[in-house]
Structures are given as C-alpha cells and as structure tokens.
C-alpha cells in the first residue's frame, strides 16, 4: 500500500499511553511542531502527563534553553482525548501502553479500523514482536517499532525496528521523523528485545540474582557497576527507573522467544512485581522513593 506523507508531512501525531514514556514522546512531538493527540484509558494519567510536560518545558525555559513562547506553543499543541476514534486524523500513531502483546494487538486492530489509510502505526514496545503486532492489522507494511528511551526528551536514541513486512518507505519516513525529534537512530531486525534490551536486561537480571543470592548489598552492586564500568547509573537503580514490571515483561519475552534459561527472570524481581513494587513510578522498587514500607527482603 502506498503511503503519501513525508516526515515533514507528519503533522499530527497520536500518542497512546500517557505514562512515563508516552508523556515524554508527546512532549517531543509537540516541541517538533506537531499537533499531538494524547490518549490514555486512565484520565488521572492524562492529568499527570500534562502537568509533567508543562513542568519539564518550564524547566527548559528557566535554564534558558527554550523561549517562553515556544514553551506555551508546545503545551497548546497537545490535546488530551478520551477515545481511539479521536485519532482518526493522525499521520503517525505511537503507542506506549502496557507491555502486553494481547493488549497491544487489540489496540492495533482498533487503530487499523479508525486511522486514515496512509497513517503509520508505531509501537514503543521494549521487546514484543513488531511482525506479530503488524499481523493484527491490514497494513503490515505501515507498522514499525519506534523504541524511545527513558526519559524520551533527554535520551538521544531511538531504536527503529522493521517488522517482516515494514516497507522501506515507512522506515525512511520514520527515520527522518526521529531525526527531526533530534534523535540518533539505530536499526534492529525484529528479534526479541531488539538490540539494547537484548544486552541490557540480562545484566539487570544478573544484578537481581547477585542481590537475591547475597553476593552484595544493592548499594554495592550499583556502586560497583557505576564506578567499575563507568555506567551513569547502577543496574538496580536503572531497573527502578525503567519500571520493574517492564523489566519482567521484557525478560519473559526474551526467555520465551530465545528459549535460553539464562533469560529466566530472577525470583526476587518476580516477587517485587507481585508485591506492586514497580520502581520509581510507584515510589518503591529495589529502592524506596516515598513512604511506602514492605517486608520483602532484601
Ligand atoms: P507506564 O505504566 O508508565 O504507562 C503506561 C500507560 O498506558 C498508563 O498510563 C496506562 O493507563 C496506559 N494504558 C494501558 N493500557 C492502555 C490502553 N489499552 N489504552 C490506553 N492507555 C492504556 O509505562 P511506560 O514505562 O510508559 O511503558 C509504556 C510502554 O513503553 C511499554 O510498552 C514499555 O515496554 C515501553 N518502554 C518503556 C520504557 C521504560 O523505561 N519504562 C523504555 C522504552 C519503552
């Protein structure tokens, strides 16, 4: 199927999921001059997203990195919507909802029905097969992975994943659009975890095993990896920032997709997620960011 819009012509971007990633993606698209339609099934998440985007842009104004007028313009570009039907004018839809293949597939079926024929459907999935998400639609050549990193306004990378049927034209358009957002692009084939999570998640999992088996304290594990390997953040702290639920989902995709027991999630990670300790976004993960207490050891 032919697609018409060039990257410049991506004027309206739909973002679904207004959590950690979706709110940052909406901010980036608005700052690049696009109209943004931001959708979440949870209205409280939408309010939190608008507040966090406004405060993030105002911080840039305070630092002298953005003019007051551009800040106000970006905020005005974002419209919160309450149904998928309202995304019918989007040239590009980027979904950043929960990391579940079934839930994402249902969304792609809906999006395929309501978006215009030329629209590109992108997933910010951390690990799920783009080919399988695309197969839920009648436009697999216009489905692509657009994997941002957390937080999207700051991290410089976008990993683009081609599904088995993604057209060269759609790849080129999404690459140009990513560059318009000021990002460096890397390209991955559609294998579990793509490039970055294929390498990162086993390290995070190993850090959980080290904690679980009593090799060291969480602080020493993180300090070891920070100062010993020059990482800006230790793996346990990074897992908290990513979200322990997201880490667990990605490890399960790696384990199921690659069939190697080395990807089997550490029981301590599973237990934290079962207990609702999802990381920084919930105030508690490996570390505490709020007042909530827990009896899980360590
Ligand atoms: P989050 O939990 O912060 O936000 C997810 C949002 O999606 C929530 O606000 C939720 O209400 C909403 N949602 C869930 N199902 C929905 C549906 N059917 N329709 C509309 N809204 C729905 O999650 P986060 O961290 O933003 O992750 C989102 C996606 O981005 C996942 O696929 C994740 O794997 C991926 N990702 C996450 C990264 C991270 O560091 N957290 C990095 C790169 C990708």
The arithmetic mean of pLDDT across residues 11-38, rounded, is: 97
Pairing of strands 12-16, 157-162: unpaired
Are 131 and 246 contained in the same domain? Answer: no
Are 95 and 236 contained in the same domain? Answer: no
Any domain includes 2: no
Are 22 and 72 contained in the same domain? Answer: yes
| 83 annotated active-site | no
Any domain includes 134: yes
Any domain includes 157: yes
- Give the angle subtended at the CA of 267 by the CAs of 266 and 272, to the nearest 5°: 105
Q: Which atom of ligand 1 is nearest to the CA of 246?
A: 34
293 pLDDT higher than 50: no
31 pLDDT higher than 80: yes
Any domain includes 6: no
Distance of CA 19 from the midpoint of ligand 1 (Å)? 5
> Sorting pLDDT into bands at 50, 70 and 90, what band is 290?
confident
Any domain includes 126: yes
133 pLDDT higher than 90: yes
Kindly report the CATH number assigned to the domain that includes residue 150: 3.40.50.720
The arithmetic mean of pLDDT across residues 201-208, rounded, is: 98
- What tokens does 31 get? 């700052």
Distance of CA 20 from the midpoint of ligand 1 (Å)? 7
Report d(CA 84, CA 113) in Å as an integer: 10
247 lines ligand 1 (CB under 6 A): no
Residues of the domain holding 153: 12-188
5 pLDDT higher than 50: no
Are 75 and 142 contained in the same domain? Answer: yes
295 pLDDT higher than 90: no
> Sorting pLDDT into bands at 50, 70 and 90, what band is 9?
confident
Report d(CA 271, CA 29) in Å as an integer: 36
Query: Quick one: CA torsion of 128, 175, 196, 137, rounded to 10 degrees?
Result: 0
- What tokens does 117 get? 């024929």
pLDDT digits (tens, 9 = 90+) for 249-289: 999 999 999 999 999 999 999 999 999 999 999 999 999 99
Are 167 and 25 contained in the same domain? Answer: yes
- Please tell me whether residue 105 adopts helix, strand or coil conformation: helix
The arithmetic mean of pLDDT across residues 225-234, rounded, is: 98
Give the residue carrying structure tokens 């999207």. Answer: 152
Any domain includes 95: yes
Nearest by Cα to 275 from 234, 245, 239: 245
- Residues making up the annotated binding site for NAD(+) are 17-22, 40, 99, 104, 126, 150, 281
Any domain includes 291: no
- Residues making up the annotated binding site are 17-22, 40, 56, 63, 99, 104, 126, 150, 281
DSSP output for 214-264: TSS-HHHHHHHHHHHH--SS-HHHHHHHH-HHHHHHHHHHHHHHH--GGGS
294 pLDDT higher than 70: no
Mutate to test the pocket of ligand 1, among 16, 18, 21, 192 (most ligand atoms within 8 A of CB): 21
Q: Which atom of ligand 1 is nearest to the CA of 99?
A: 32
Nearest CA to ligand 1 atom 2: 19
Are 218 and 145 contained in the same domain? Answer: no
Are 204 and 73 contained in the same domain? Answer: no
Q: How far is CA 95 from CA 103, 204, 233, 285, in A?
A: 11, 25, 27, 25
Are 180 and 228 contained in the same domain? Answer: no
Q: What are phi and psi of 285, to 5 degrees?
A: -145, -120
Any domain includes 289: no
| 255 annotated active-site | no
Nearest CA to ligand 1 atom 29: 96
Kindly report the CATH number assigned to the domain that includes residue 248: 1.10.1040.10
Burial of 91 per CB tally in 10 Å (0-12, 13-18, 19+): buried
Q: Which atom of ligand 1 is nearest to the CA of 107?
A: 18
Can you point out the beta strands (E) in 62-106? 78-81, 92-95
- Round to the nearest angstrom and report the end-to-end CA distance of the chain: 54
Are 222 and 160 contained in the same domain? Answer: no
Are 67 and 108 contained in the same domain? Answer: yes
pLDDT digits (tens, 9 = 90+) for 155-192: 999 999 999 999 999 999 999 999 999 999 999 999 99
281 lines ligand 1 (CB under 6 A): yes
Total domains present in the chain: 2
Contact between 122 and 93 under an 8 Å Cβ cutoff? The reply is yes
Are 75 and 183 contained in the same domain? Answer: yes
Residue at a domain's end among 188, 223, 243: 188
91 lines ligand 1 (CB under 6 A): no
User: What ipTM was estimated for this complex?
Assistant: 0.99
């Amino acid at each position: 199927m032919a697609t018409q819009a060039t990257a410049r012509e991506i004027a309206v971007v739909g973002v679904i999921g207004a959590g950690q990633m979706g709110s940052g993606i909406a901010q980036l698209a608005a700052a690049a001059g696009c109209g943004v339609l931001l959708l979440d099934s949870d209205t409280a998440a939408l309010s939190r997203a608008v507040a966090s985007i406004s405060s993030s842009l105002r911080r840039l104004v305070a630092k002298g990195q953005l003019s007051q007028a551009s800040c106000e313009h970006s905020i005005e570009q974002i419209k919160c919507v309450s149904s998928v039907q309202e995304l019918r004018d989007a040239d590009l839809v980027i979904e950043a909802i929960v990391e579940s293949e079934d839930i994402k597939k249902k969304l792609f079926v809906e999006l395929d029905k309501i978006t215009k024929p030329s629209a590109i459907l992108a997933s910010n999935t951390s690990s799920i097969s783009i080919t399988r998400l695309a197969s839920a639609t009648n436009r697999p050549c216009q489905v692509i992975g657009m994997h941002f990193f957390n937080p999207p306004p700051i991290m410089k990378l976008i990993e683009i994943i081609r599904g088995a049927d993604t057209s060269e034209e759609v790849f080129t358009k999404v690459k140009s659009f990513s560059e318009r957002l000021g990002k460096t692009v890397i390209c991955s084939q559609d294998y579990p975890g793509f490039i970055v999570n294929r390498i990162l998640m086993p390290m995070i999992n190993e850090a959980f095993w080290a904690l679980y088996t009593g090799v060291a304290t969480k602080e020493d594990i993180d300090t070891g990896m920070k100062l010993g390997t020059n990482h800006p953040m230790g793996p346990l702290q990074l897992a908290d920032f990513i979200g322990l639920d997201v880490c667990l989902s990605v490890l399960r995709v790696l384990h199921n997709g690659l069939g190697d027991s080395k990807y089997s999630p550490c029981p301590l990670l599973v237990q934290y997620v079962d207990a609702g300790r999802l990381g920084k976004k919930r105030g508690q993960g490996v570390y505490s960011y709020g007042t909530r207490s827990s009896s899980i050891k360590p």
